[in-house]
Amino acid sequence: MIKITITSTDIRNMKGISKTSQKPYDLNFQTAYVHTWDKQGHANPYPEKTELMLDKDTNGLPVSYPVGDYTFAPSSIQIDRMGNLDLRPVLTPLKAAHAVKLA
């Protein structure tokens, strides 16, 4: 399982006109930290910073993830039209560890 940590709900917006299509674009990103492993299968000592492109709601506003720990939802992994593995991050919250009840 891959763990992704969201530490802030801040959103970075990027707007402009595409050089190739001449169409406007309006993209929103949220910073995430991915807990990764090295080639030998050892956990790296620190998570690596990346950005997730955010979906928009019905009003066109970006939908950010709340602060917390996540993993990839099964719908994140797809096969593209060329038959290649494609990862389009959709996060699902990790369940908090169950508290141990003391008798």
pLDDT, tens digit (0-9, with 9 covering 90-100), for 43-91: 999 999 999 999 999 999 999 999 999 999 999 999 999 999 999 999 9
Distance CA 70, CA 7 (A): 11
Rg (C-alpha) for the chain, rounded Å, is: 17
d(CA 82, CA 70): 29
How far is residue 34's CA from residue 37's CA, in Å, rounded to a whole number? 10
Query: Residue 16: its pLDDT value, please?
Result: 96
- pTM greater than 0.85: no
- Percent of the chain past pLDDT 70, that is, above it, reads 92
Tokens of 70: 């996540």
Average pLDDT, the chain: 92
Taking residue 28's Cβ as centre, other Cβ atoms within 10 Å add up to 19
Identify the DSSP state of 52: E
